[in-house]
Amino acid sequence: MGDIVQIYNDYKDHADFLTVYVREAHPTDEWQMKSNVKDDVCYAQPKTLEQRVAIAKDFTARYKFTLPFGIDDMSNAADTAYAAWPERLYIIDETGHIVYRGGIGPFHYKPTEVREWLAAKYGAVKHEVQTTAAPTSAAFARTSTTSGASSATTTTLLSAPVESKK
Amino acid sequence: MKLFLQWFAGVLAVILLAAFGALCYLAGSPKDAYGMVRYALPHMHRGTLQVGSDAPDVRLLALDGINHFHIRERMGTRPLVLVFGSFT
């Protein structure tokens, strides 16, 4: 239920979404995790913007990621401004003010809180069937049900079929 | 005094060993414990933004690798959910 893609599908008629790709959390030349190897998600930390774009394209293509997408520059301006690394969620209202500031992931990355905020404003979206499938390493797809660093990369499938009913 | 120092050093060593063991357990392995200390802990309390703060504007590169846009351009008529993350 915490899947951000599912939240996007549920509320894209009411809210805008923007994914911001920031520097890698677990590149091969820093803190690589076993799950990244298992899932064949092995990248060195990009040294150029072209490398960062290439990884972003790999990600969106591999998971057929449909959310609007932007890429942080090599000065990590977005990461710095929003203290975003490794992953974080915000909601900004129509006046340009922050109305929800999520915690720093993976431990405090909680898509369910975003869902709750949207549900309070636009109504809850109930799901009759929820299907989980093969894990990915995509941080964007991470759920809030993590209990440790080693389990933090256990995710739900980005495009898991879910029947929704408003 | 010497006996006290020996006991103190022993207790300290046991505490440090227990802390390291707990960190390894939480992180998953000694390597991950190192990664947590080296990469994650320095980022745990970054940022000054609060609910009510003006959302910073940042220039981003589009996925095509050519065009740029500003986060501000995506604000205005509806709430904007910002999702920061990476592939790994």
Cβ–Cβ < 8 Å for A128, A138? no
List pLDDT tens digits, range A26-41. Answer: 888 788 777 888 887 7
Q: What is the mean pLDDT of the segment spanning A109-117? A: 93
The interface residues of chain B toward chain A in range 30-69, judged by CB-CB distance below 8 A, are: 32, 35-36, 38-40, 43-44, 46-56, 58-63, 65, 69
Cβ–Cβ < 8 Å for A51, A70? no
Size of interface A-B (CB pairs under 8 A): 219
Percent of chain A past pLDDT 90, that is, above it, reads 43
Q: Residue B21 above 60 pLDDT?
A: yes
Instruction: Kindly report which listed range (A6-10, A152-156, B45-49) carries the lowest average pLDDT score.
Output: A152-156
Cβ–Cβ < 8 Å for A104, A98? no
ipTM above 0.85, yes or no: no
Between the CA of residue A69 and those of A16, A19, A72, B68, what are the distances in Å? 12, 5, 10, 11
Percent of chain B past pLDDT 70, that is, above it, reads 100
Phi, psi (deg, nearest 5) at residue A41: -120, 80
Going by C-alpha positions, the residue among B87, B69, B3, B47 that lies closest to residue A142 is: B87
Looking at the DSSP assignment, which residues form a beta bridge with residue B61?
A71, B68
The interface residues of chain B toward chain A in range 5-24, judged by CB-CB distance below 8 A, are: none
Is the model more confident about B72 or about A154?
A: B72
